[in-house]
Each structure stands twice: as C-alpha cells, then as structure tokens.
Amino acid sequence: MSQQPVRQPVRQVRRFPRPRDFLPLLKFKKPTLNPTTRRLEQALTVYDLRAIAKRRTPKAAFDYTDGSADQELSLGRARQAFEDITFHPSILRDVSVVDTSVEVLGVRSALPFGIAPTGFTRMMQSEGEIAGATAAEAAGIPYALSTMGTTAIEDVAAATPEGRNWFQLYMWKDRDRSMALVDRAAKAGFDTLLVTVDVPVAGARLRDTRNGMTIPPTLSPKTVLNAIPRPAWWINFLTTEPLAFASLDKWSGTVAELLDTMFDPTVTFDDLAWIRDQWHGKVVVKGIQNVADAGKLAEMGMDAILLSNHGGRQLDRAPVPFHLLPDVKAAVGDSLEIHLDTGIMSGQDIVAAIAMGADFTLIGRAYLYGLMAGGRRGVDRTIEILRKDIERTMRLLGVSTLAELQPEHVTQLHRLTARG
C-alpha cells in the first residue's frame, strides 16, 4: 500500500502595508452634533428608549409611567406572553412590497396601531399630548386623548387639523361633567369615543405611593436631589405652561386619591348603553377582560372592544389580553372589531396580535418612553422603530399584507396553565 505524500502547508507571503491600503478602511461617520438626535439614532428598540427615558426623567414621573399595580405581575405577564410565542414563516413569497395599513372603524390607518390615551402626559415631558397627537398625524395613525390629559381637547384638535383623534372617557360620579367633555370632543371633531370600564376604583399603584406622587409634582429634598442629574426636565417643567388637568380643576393630593374621588363604582351596562345613545360617532369599550363581557357588548351593538387590563395598573394578576384574544375572537367573530393593548414593546408583538385575531392595537408606555427620551422626535422614533419591526416581520413570515396574517402564523406558548 503506497503512502500518501505529506502536503506542506501553503506559506502566506507577508509584506509591509502601504499607506494607500488603509484608505478604503478609513471611513469616518459624520458626527451628529445635536445630542437629542444622537441619542435617538442610537435607540434601536423601545427598550433602548426606555433606558434613555429613565436617565432623563425624575423618578416620580418615570415610575408613574413605568409602574403598574401591586407586585406588577400583570404587566410582567403581558410582556412575557408576547415573548412566549413561536412564529411560523412561509418561504418563497414575493414580499418586495408590504402593506402595513389596516381599516379601523371605517377609516384607513397607515399602521396597525394607534397611540393609547395616557393621563398627565405633560408631566412625563413638557411637549406632552401635542407631541403624541402631531406624531400620530404625521404617521397616519389615530391618537387617543385621555380624560386625564394635560392639554385641552380643543388645543389637540387645533394642533392636528389633518389628524384622526379619539377621546377616552371615564364615567365620573359627576355625570354632567363627564358628558360635557364628550360634547366638547364631538364639537372639536373627535370621531371615536373610548369608554374605559375597568376603573370602579384606582388600583394600588405602589410606586406612586412610595414616591409621594402628586399632580403637579411637589419639591422636597428628595426630589431636588433626584433632579440634579436631570436639569433639562426641570428647565422644561419650570419654563412652560404650569402643569394642570385640561379637563379638571387643580388637585394637590396624590394621583390615587384623585382617582378615587372621581371614578364611579356604580357604572353598569345600562350606563354604557346611555352613553352610546349620546355619541354619534364610533364607540370602543376599553378594559374587557373576559369572553362573556365581550359577547354582551357585541350584542349591544358596540363598534369595538379593547382587550386591556389597563396596562396592569388596576387589578394585579388580571387576565393577559394577548392570551384572551383567541377565545374572544372565537366568541364574537366579526360582529365587532377587537382591539388590544397592554405589554406591547415591539412590532413583532403587534404582528402576533393581528395574526391571532386582533383588528388593531394601541401603544401607551412604548410611546411615552419615546416622549421622555426626546419629546416629539422621540415619539416619531418609537413609531419608526415599530414600523420597521412590522415590515421586517411581515417579510420574514412571507406575507405582504396584514390580511394574510392568520393564527397559523403564531403559536402561543403558555407558562401559566390553569389547574383542573
């Protein structure tokens, strides 16, 4: 048996590099001089925006946005639910062009999400509701103004002549005052009413209690110390219009105390039917957390329901809206639109919700993180991050329109299963 010759390794020929060899490697990026622009360009995810927001916002204001009720289990579970999925992509589909638009309540939205109603928004960052509304207008998506907003209904309408605005209503003990707000919203051109029904009393928002959270924020040695590394927030806060409720008198107590004095624990389905008769636009009922209530609202002729546990800010250990979605869809079919919020932090989350039967989604904290990180430009950045996520995820799944998304594209993986 002949022996194979041993091959000698090929020796690399080395040389001294010439200066011109370095030139193609020396491509310096043009520096971004504006610090806000630089921060936002470096944010690639909503979690990146959250990290920036935490650095730039006083603790009480950041915690009001970031926190939820009791042990904050509901919020954690909602976010975990979106992570606990498997996508099932199809291959060899033409996805050179994708359409991210969807019809919501009779009007086309450029993206399958809108901006959810959030209270006290100018406390997070001085541009507040106007930043959210104008960013939504520019993106071609709906914006929802909260009853607890810090910008007047009429001012939001004036700032967004081409925008699509919704108004979120809490039913207060003072019904005449509640309906006066509804009348103002109608006269200002708001086309949709979101009636929030999961707040008979305020949830136990422990971060706010521990921070002594008041509206407006109060100065103490602790808050002054916390403000030292965050001068921009305080400069904006102290040099712009004083923070106050656009729809309420001034309040000097804590947020929880305010909510408990306002919210009405006697509200029933009859009250909801009465509100429906008063409003001539579309009605969305926000805060649905079981199949039976969803079915009843479909029978009552509501235009849409919003599956939501209030971002985990009311009842801790509440049902996860994303987990509830398939059962609600099976129960109500196409008799009304199903919207969803709570826990959304990426475009993948939104795509998964649409695939599992949601017609539309709303983002709250995600947009507030952008607002705190960079004002209006930060909200634009949030929307852009989510838009790119949605487009990329659609392409990787092999779909070119949202209508092509089906439950078969997603498997929900359950960590928590009922016993017995």
259 alpha-carbon distance from chain centroid = 22
φ, ψ at 408 (rounded to 5°) = -65, -15
Residues serving a catalytic function are: 310
The residues with which 193 forms a beta bridge, in sequence order, are 167, 283
Spatial separation of the C-alpha atoms in residues 269 and 176, rounded to whole Å: 18
The residues with which 214 forms a beta bridge, in sequence order, are 254
Neighbours of 278 (CB within 10 A): 12
CB 341 within 8 A of CB 306: yes
Which residue from 102, 104, 163 is spatially nearest to 131, judged by alpha carbons?
163
Exposure string over 232-241, b if 16+ CB within 10 A, otherwise e: ebbeebeeee
Tell whether the torsion through CA atoms of 338, 343, 346 and 349 is positive or negative. Answer: negative
Q: How many residues does the chain have?
A: 420
Which residue from 193, 200, 203, 178 is spatially nearest to 267, judged by alpha carbons?
200
- Judged on CB neighbours under 10 Å (0-12, 13-18, 19+), 62 is buried
